[in-house]
A = this chain, B = another copy of it.
């Protein structure tokens, strides 16, 4: 009962099929934008709640800033920043009026407004009003918001014109404190990806030419998708005094001198859901890590004879009541009883496609024998995927089972990542040969297919040109470096750093 395309057959079509069969999102009549449906949005709500708690426990506060940014805010930036992103939605009128029977934009604005692609500019403007003295620092804020970037090749979750994200923005009195903030939040992203999404990541710094425009340093977490490509899952920027200078965020320091503040920004988006899909989904559909599954246990009644309905539903009611006290990960368990007017087989496949971690099927025989039929999504198709166990055993082990699923999902993905980082490529010929292979799916156990290369880099513009031509990017400069010995595998020049090379989303 595999999806219409497997990973091996056609990876991009497999991805579309996972999203659509799991009913997580769909393309909308609004060009390039997506509708996030309940199962997809439920996953986002879980990610949001987990990370929001982290944001607050690290003393950040949530705010909300306008989504419209006056054009003039970008003027200075555009003059100074080479990598200025220009594909943005521009609001030019504030009225619709009927002209010759046709609705037409009317009331032209004096100054066009940009729908935020990110909020550094408008938030820095507020900070400049809030900060006067070192006593006003640090300012530690975050917002959950929608942002817009005019993508020309939209893909659900990975790249849509509008998406949801959080963006943290902070201002500090010293560079050191701001740098600490940047790495603290990078670590928070690593923790989120690995311990909540069960998605292992490589952590590091972006090379100069891949930095966020205006940043002194950009740090990132990079995940490996099942086609070997890298997905940038989150970024944390140390902005130095760049934004503070252009927005005039200045303060009187302890020595009674006027000084510019040091700022940071950091964000993750609904793109993470794309990463979760391409980390965990299989040829049968979505697989959701229990920590972010809207429901961890789905109960499907199997009623073959209408006369049995009461007995089965009573038995389910008892189990559900006992289940409600179970606390995997120290949180209330999330249960769904699927009472819809559909066959239990259809329901099973629907929840399998959605990737619910555990499906309980309960029929007359189970009720009579005080048993449950327990199906585990990550074991689908294997003998352990389907167990008949006693109700007592089920209730005694369910929290532990759910925690174990989360752990195993991470371990599997971690093993895949580790096995698919080539470290033995030392020349541009080998590099070329490796990346010129095509593969749809790297598989879990084998390596050798195209994925990541860890190797030496010289940092010369010449090497950047080479990469550009091959459509390969440097994903990050990992924190664990082996030293400045050796030569760049692209140019043969003396190397300065170890980097991760990969194709990317």
Contact = CB atoms under 8 A, between A and B. Distances in A.
Given A94-B89, A94-B150, A96-B114, A30 B70 contact: yes
Contacts of A164: 64
A125 B92 CA distance: 26
Interface string A211-238: 0000000000000000000000000000
Contacts of A90: 91-96, 105
A341 B135 CA distance: 8
A63 B341 CA distance: 23
A9 to B, nearest CB: 27
Contact of A69 (B30, B95, B113, B122): B30
A434 to B, nearest CB: 37
Contacts of A93: 89-90, 92, 112
Nearest to A39: B61
Contact of A64 (B36, B61, B114, B341): B36
Given A28-B126, A30-B122, A113-B89, A63 B35 contact: yes
A97 B86 contact: yes
B91 A95 contact: no
Nearest to A121: B29
A74 B74 CA distance: 31
Contacts of A73: 29
Interface string A68-80: 1111011100110
B67 A45 contact: no
**Chain A contact patch, size range:** 35 or more
B36 A63 contact: yes
A162 interface: yes
B38 A61 contact: yes
A484 B146 CA distance: 50
Q: Which of A69, A103, A125 has the most CB of B within 10 A?
A: A103
Contacts of A2: none
A112 B93 CA distance: 10
A17 interface: no
10 contacts: A28-B65, A30-B68, A35-B65, A36-B65, A67-B146, A74-B96, A75-B103, A91-B91, A91-B92, A94-B150
Nearest first, the 7 closest Cβ-Cβ pairs linking A and B are: A33-B66, A38-B61, A30-B66, A36-B64, A90-B93, A94-B150, A90-B105
Given A45-B62, A95-B150, 11 more contacts: A26-B129, A30-B66, A36-B64, A37-B63, A41-B64, A68-B89, A71-B96, A71-B105, A74-B103, A92-B105, A145-B146
